[in-house]
Amino acid sequence: KLKAGMTFESEGKLIRVLEASHHKPGKGNTIMRMKLRDVRTGSTFDTTYRPDEKFEQAIIETVPAQYLYKMDDTAYFMNTDTYDQYEIPVANVEQELLYILENSDVKIQFYGSEVIGVTVPTTVELTVAETQPSIKGATV
């Protein structure tokens, strides 16, 4: 059974489940509607599966790392156990970089030897540097 957050391989693509729900139409069998993301390309798509379809969950290894810096189109991370450094294209971790500062602790996700993502801490402390002035009457 596929749930949100699970990763599986299908037709040579590494797919992560973003949302999953069961639907029972008036006639016919139950179907599962899913919102999926191709981990390698970042594209999202919606699809349906029958509940009896089988998928093998991908084995994702997670290692502790530290975000070092970003230069041009590459973000640099270091494994805090082995001190190995990883270069990840900024396009693959663009959203995550919004929430981490240099020297922040993160977790890097691997599928085999391929880096597929970065997990940021559940809470981060950031400072709002600039914001638009409030408009009179815009508050509740």
Please report which confidence band the pLDDT of residue 139 belongs to, taking 50, 70 and 90 as the band edges: low
State which fold the 7-49 domain adopts.
Answer: SH3 type barrels. (2.30.30)
Residues 19, 8 contacting (CB under 8 angstroms): no
Q: What is the pLDDT of residues 21-39, one digit of tens each?
A: 888 877 778 888 999 988 8
DSSP at 46: E
pLDDT in tens, 100-111: 988 999 999 999
The string of pLDDT tens digits covering residues 62-120 is 999 999 999 998 999 999 999 999 998 888 888 889 889 889 999 999 998 888 888 88
Helix ranges, the chain (H): 94-97
Task: Just give the CATH number of 61-119.
Answer: 2.40.50.140
Q: Please state the domain extents for the chain.
A: 7-49, 61-119
- Cα dist from 34 to 14, 69, 72, whole Å: 15, 35, 35
Q: How many helices and strands (H and E) does the chain possess? A: 1, 9
- For the record, the structure tokens of 34 come out as 């899913």
Report field, pTM of the whole predicted structure over 0.85: no
